[in-house]
Structure 1
Amino acid sequence: MAQKIPKHIQGIIQQSKGGQYKFGQIEMPELKQGDLLIKVHAAPINPSDIGFIKGTYPSNDFPTILGKEGSGFVIAGYGEQEQKLIGKKVAFLPKASSRTGTYADYAISTINSSFILPDDVNLDQFSCVLINPQTVAYMFETVKENNVKAVVHDLGASQLGKQMTSYFQANGVDVINIVRRQDQLEDLKKNGAKYILNQNDEGFWDKLSELCQKLQVTIAFDAIGGEFTQNLINYLPNSSILYTYGSLAEKKDVILALLGTVINKFDAFGYQQKYKDRMKKKNKELIKQQMS
């Protein structure tokens, strides 16, 4: 049975792109056909949240409540199928046009942006099972389309990096993981990663170049930006493709030497748009596959 719809939503509100944010409340948006109203239980801080807050990621209209994913209970549904989900536990992404994020007591989502969870799951643990698995699944689709045998990932020690390595290796694609500390290298080894390079080891770039040639790398996924990415481009094999999906470097700009050898060497894409395009075409099976 649907609960009474609250008049307001309380949460962390950002007034403008990259602007200040604070705790406040907004009026409950009018719920439309296909909407689910979810009482939020938990929400993580994902790197995409940080990028959104800083204004470096594509943004919704403002003001908006922050938070890209979470878990909770469906308390209202507008539509025949939606009403059947009332009372169910879900992991979900908020409906972008609603301006309601997960850093709030309530959020609006849809069936296509929610995953029904078993009644006995821990909602804390399932608050962060969508963004990274989705990203990895669609990255793998990109790899399959290009008939790639091996890739480079320059944020190998991240949670997304660990998921990428596990999923890619299980499906026949090698991953060269780049890390920055020895403990990260050891951790990835324990998780079954086959190829790991420490950026701070002597001769790192030459080792990377040699391994890329050996494994026939043709795609790199970059989340660093700045000077590191400039160097990475120089050491990738000819005709490689660089996808950038984040930028952790303080100086984020990548300056390319406009020489013929460099221009002919690679293509570079922002993965955010390719990811959005794929979301329109693919269904939940890829995500379920990766979540399992």
Structure 2
Amino acid sequence: MKSKAMVLKEFMKPLEMVEIEIPTLKEGEVLIKIEAAGVCGSDVHMWKGEDPRTPLPIILGHEGVGRVQEIKGEKQTIYGEELKAGDLIIWNRGVTCDKCFACKILKDPSLCKNRKVYGINQSSAVFPYLNGCYSEYVILNGNTDIFKVEESIDPALLVSASCSGATVAHAFDMVSGILGDTVVIQGPGPLGVYAVAFAKNIGASEIVVIGGSKERLDLCKHLGATLILDRHETSITERNEIVMEKTRGMGADLVIEAVGTRGVAEEGLKLLRTGGTYLSTGYAQPAGKESIDFYRDIVSKNITIKGVWVSDTKHTKMAMDIVMKNKKDFAKLISHRFSLEEANKAIEAMNSKEALKAVLMPDEALESKK
């Protein structure tokens, strides 16, 4: 039995369709037929060769929802449910070692130096070869944390919960209990959309989103943003004045960077109140240095800066829950659907920002959506 897969063999070159022999599973491994694979902004950076973690050749795709085809031995979900063929599932995209300093001492698996991630740092040249979601099938490691998914859900809705959703969930998990009356979100992409949903969920009275795409900003407003600042229509100085006016000259309690581009932090830090918190979620790859006045913008304001690196299984669960509570809203996040063979079109749509969120789906699933 073989699986079709779109493989990245050279950076900045089109992905190539190949057929890969599905190997005999090892104990604990699970063969999954992909129902939906998210095309993430990180995939675009990997395609360009900007992510130092990317080995070649590779099957991209770290966001997936799929159906169990075969299990070697026994496998349970995170809730202890026996997994069986036919189950619709989603999984934590990272598999950690449970042996290193981060896993055992820090108790923070997201920082595991041995963390393996489907579609990011596992080559298709390495067993079991089907290591990414731009494929008909993916093989999950026996240590992968798995959740069953409701049969009634559109699989495309949930794919981003395992990446941008889980990352933002990690950010909010870091600051649970911190006052968040006024939250400013820099960037209206998938990370920003989730940030709006989580900010609303914690009861923020003011949710301000800064961005440059009208369609994306409109979605954020629909999800609960109370103020939209179009960066094409406002200057950095004007945005600062507006936020200060909104907060009686104090500044925001919480600012979330959800862009990952140079210069964003310089603006965001200035929007914080004294004692505020800055969460950086968008830097999935190197993007250059920031010019920060530590005395004025950090030390004298006694602010907290937290880098948010990936996520853990808890955060995947938190993101799934926020999607399930807002299914109609998150359906609007999916702007484009493509077949597996159209993966290069999907990459281009994300690269050009034509797509807010693109998803690869089997042909029969696409037909059902027409």
Deviation at 1:149, TM superposition (A): 3.8
State the Cα distance separating 1:19 from its structure 2 match: 6.2
1:201 counterpart residue number: 234
Give the match for residue 211 of structure 2: 179
The alignment partner of 1:141 has SS state of helix
Distance 1:139 1:30, change over 3 A: farther
1:87 is displaced (CA, Å) by 1.4
Greater shift in the superposed pair: 92-101 or 43-52: 92-101
Q: Corresponding residue for 1:133?
A: 165
**Secondary structure class of the residue paired with 2:39:** coil
* Structure 1 residues 214 and 197: CA distance shift in structure 2, 3 A: farther
In structure 2, distance between residues paired with 1:146 and 1:52 = 35
Secondary structure of 1:44 counterpart: strand
Task: Name the CA distance, whole Å, in 1 between partners of 2:159 and 2:51.
Answer: 21
On the 8 A contact 1:9/1:27 being kept in 2, the answer is yes
- 1:155–1:179 Cα contact (<8 Å) kept: yes
Secondary structure of residue in 1 paired with 2:175 = helix
CA distance in 2 between counterparts of 1:53 and 1:241 reads 33
Residue from 308, 317, 322 that aligns with 1:271: 308
| Amino acid in the other structure paired with 1:77 | I
Instruction: Find out whether 1:59 has 2:53 as its counterpart.
Output: yes
Give, as a single letter, the amino acid of the residue that structure 2 aligns with 1:108. Answer: I
Work out the CA distance in 2 between the residues paired with 1:257 and 1:136: 24
Q: What one-letter code is carried by the residue in structure 2 that aligns with 1:208?
A: V
> Structure 1 204/126 Cα, relative in aligned 2: closer, same or farther at 3 Å?
closer
User: Quick check: 2:185–2:196 contact (8 Å CA) kept in 1?
Assistant: no
The answer to whether 1:101 aligns with 2:138 is no
CA distance in structure 2 between the aligned counterparts of 1:142 and 1:214, rounded to whole angstroms: 23
The answer to whether the 8 Å contact 2:191/2:282 transfers is no
Q: Which amino acid aligns with 2:308?
A: Y
- Determine which of 24, 27, 35 is the counterpart of 2:29: 35
Task: Report matched runs for 1:66-85 at 5 Å.
Answer: 66-81=60-75, 84-85=83-84
SS at match of 1:85: coil
Tell me the TM-score normalized by structure 1: 0.76
> Which whole-Å CA distance do the structure 2 matches of 1:76 and 1:235 have between them?
52
In 2 relative to 1, CA 148–190 (structure 1 residues): closer, same or farther, beyond 3 Å? closer
Residues in 1 aligned to 2:279 and 2:133: alpha-carbon distance in whole angstroms: 28
SS of equivalent to 1:81: coil
Letter in 1 for 2:234: D
Residue in 1 aligned with 2:98?
Answer: none
CA contact (8 A) 1:137 1:290 kept: no
Bigger Cα displacement from structure 2, 194-203 vs 257-266? 257-266
Q: CA deviation at 1:93?
A: 5.3
Q: After superposition, where does 1:125-164 map in structure 2 within 5 Å?
A: 125-144=157-176, 146-156=178-188, 158-164=189-195
5+ residue gaps in structure 2? Answer: 77-81, 96-116, 123-127, 325-370
| Equivalent pair of 2:266/2:290 in contact (CA under 8 Å) | yes
Q: Which moved more, 1:215-224 or 1:34-43?
A: 215-224
Q: Is the 8 A contact 1:222 1:229 kept in 2?
A: no
234, 245, 259: which one pairs with 1:223? 259
Q: Distance in 2 between matches of 1:175 and 1:285?
A: 23
Q: Which has the higher contact order (CA 8 A, sep 6+)?
A: 2
Q: Who is 1:117 aligned against?
A: 149
Q: Kindly tell me: are residues 11 and 220 of structure 1, through their superposed partners in 2, closer, same or farther at Cα, counting changes over 3 Å?
A: same
Any unmatched runs of 5+ in structure 1? Answer: 1-5
Spell out, residue by residue over 1:143-194, the C-alpha distance to the aligned partner (whole angstroms, 9 max, x if none): 21545443321113x3442332233213223432112255655544343322
**Counterparts of 2:71 and 2:36 in 1: how far apart (Å)?**
20
What TM-score comes out, normalization by structure 2 length? Answer: 0.62
| Aligned mates of 1:78, 1:169 — CA distance in 2 | 42
1:215 is displaced (CA, Å) by 6.1
Cα shift readout 1:12-40 (whole Å, capped 9, x = no counterpart):
22347x56443334454563333211112
What secondary structure is seen at the aligned counterpart in 2 of 1:226? coil
Give the letter for the 2:40 counterpart.
N
Letter of the structure 2 residue corresponding to residue 176 of structure 1: V
In the TM superposition, residue 285 of structure 1 has moved relative to its aligned partner by 4.5
* Partner Cα separation in structure 1 for residue 31 and residue 69 of structure 2: 6
| Matches of 2:317 and 2:294, distance apart in 1 | 43
The alignment yields a C-alpha RMSD, in angstroms, of 3.5
Distance 1:36 1:137, change over 3 A: same
Aligned residue pairs, count: 277
Match of 2:296 in 1: 261
Question: Does the Cα contact within 8 Å between 1:151 and 1:175 map onto a contact in 2?
Answer: yes
Match of 2:197 in 1: 166
